[in-house]
A and B are shown apart, each in its own frame.
Chain A
Amino acid sequence: MENRSIVSIADYRKDKIQYLLDMAREFETHPNRELLKGKVVATLFFEPSTRTRLSFETAANRLGAKVIGFSDPKATSSSKGETLKDTIKMVSSYADVIVMRHKLEGAALYASEVTNIPIINAGDGSNLHPSQTMLDLYSIYKTQGTLENLNIYMVGDLKYGRTVHSLLMSMRTYNPTFHFIAPKELEMPEEYKLYCKQNGIKYIEQQDFTEETIADADILYMTRVQRERFTDLMEYERVKDAYVLKANMLGKCKENMKILHPLPRVNEIEYDVDDSKHAYYFEQAQNGLYAREALICDVLGITLDEVRNDRTIIK
């Protein structure tokens, strides 16, 4: 049987991305259905992540599925030394799909190799986080009307921020121009710059984050600059306020510009930005629900046509 797992969407083709975006849009129109009645979705969070888990569980619940799982690895037998393989095998005999998050890189791919039921990767280490990427793409598509030819500004921690790495790779075929705005210690890693060069993706690197430098952005993608990421704490003290977005920096920005952030924020977006028409991060989080409804249905083999002709919609 073909394994329909979603481990990474970095290599998805345009038509597949569009298909999932169209499906997410259907779920935005009608989020509540009984399409997955009788199905069991397992959420296995070997590494805690309350937001991601709640979003997936809400998606499953709104489609009528039952949810089992754990949110704290301490409560599971993996803390007693059970292998990942054994845990996945055991849960596979109960559930129709596994949503998993793990602190080790490659865990989701390995899990998908040891079971016949589909795996959805909800983040494995610093490696991949495809459902976040999908909701980012959906948010960009929804607000800009296209994914093509956009100026995407990534700000803050570009070194450890896996959401920006996943987004960068998945935008490969849409002719974006990236602006990487980060302190020296947290700049975009060489391997991703190489990826850009190899794939003909334009990018500009800068350290200044001002009203002028962001004036041409279509998307301003903010990330957290965390103290623990710095080896040099003097450097942290010097730059910590330099990558904070303030309402008075939005004077020159484009009409269509939207601010995204994977949340939770700490202080990198000031609260006065929330009232701006450019602020989009809360809607973005909500889009995560529709994107995840689409991912769960896709791995279970439910097609876009079936979603469009669905008679189980709850109005």
Chain B
Amino acid sequence: MMVAALESGSVIDHIPTDKLFTIAQLLELENFKEEVVIANNLDSQIMTRKGLIKIAGKFFSEAEINKLAVVCPNIRLTVIKDYQVVEKRQVTLPDTLTNIVKCANPVCITNNEPMKTVFYRMDTQTLKCRYCGKEQKLKDIKLK
């Protein structure tokens, strides 16, 4: 499959095939004016099949990267400037997530006040709400 090289922008790679469209939606790709490439079911050396997104002219903020990490841990992010790779990294879940995810507990204060949520990473699969203390599995997590 031929995809033109990116002059400047970001590449999200190693996306599980079933998560590709969740990520595309999360990034609101329909709003981008520059070149966007979405590919799925590509052959991969470390996964059987993978998805990939290239976005020209886009550089992610730390908050956006954290959001990606919640939906899809272990994706790889490459940042390109002037056809050169300036950064390549494995996206990982940070220790603290501020205002990224929503608490699943309806009687948690965070669902009833205009306030930021705070979650702590307990292990690779589990987050814990700072306020109500309830632990929540990453796979069930809803973004704020």
Contacts and interface: CB of A to CB of B under 8 A. Distances in A.
B94 interface: no
Contact of B109 (A107, A126, A191): A107
A105 B113 contact: no
Main secondary structure of the interface of A (DSSP, over half): mixed
A124 B107 CA distance: 10
A191 B133 CA distance: 11
Contact-residue size bin, chain A (C-beta under 8 Å from the other chain): 10 to 19
Interface string A97-125: 00000111111011000000000000011
A126 B133 CA distance: 11
B110 interface: yes
Given A84-B109, A125-B107, A106 B131 contact: yes
Interface in B113-138: 113-115, 129-135
A74 B134 CA distance: 29
A110 B113 contact: yes
A58 interface: no
Contacts of A84: 109, 113
Contacts of B131: 105-106, 109-110
B108 A104 contact: yes
A49 interface: no
A220 B83 CA distance: 73
Interface residues of B, number: 16
B110 A106 contact: yes
Contacts, number: 44
Contacts of A143: none
A83 B114 contact: yes
Contacts of B105: 105
Given A104-B107, A105-B105, A105-B107, A127 B113 contact: no
B133 A105 contact: yes
A85 B115 contact: yes
B31 interface: no
B107 A103 contact: yes
B25 interface: no
Contact of A105 (B109, B115, B135): B109
A116 to B, nearest CB: 18
A238 B57 CA distance: 68
B114 A105 contact: no
B114 to A, nearest CB: 6
Nearest to A125: B107
8 contacts: A85-B113, A104-B107, A104-B108, A105-B131, A106-B131, A110-B109, A110-B115, A125-B132
Given A103-B107, A109-B130, 14 more contacts: A83-B113, A83-B114, A85-B113, A102-B109, A104-B109, A105-B132, A106-B109, A106-B129, A106-B132, A106-B133, A110-B110, A110-B131, A125-B132, A126-B107
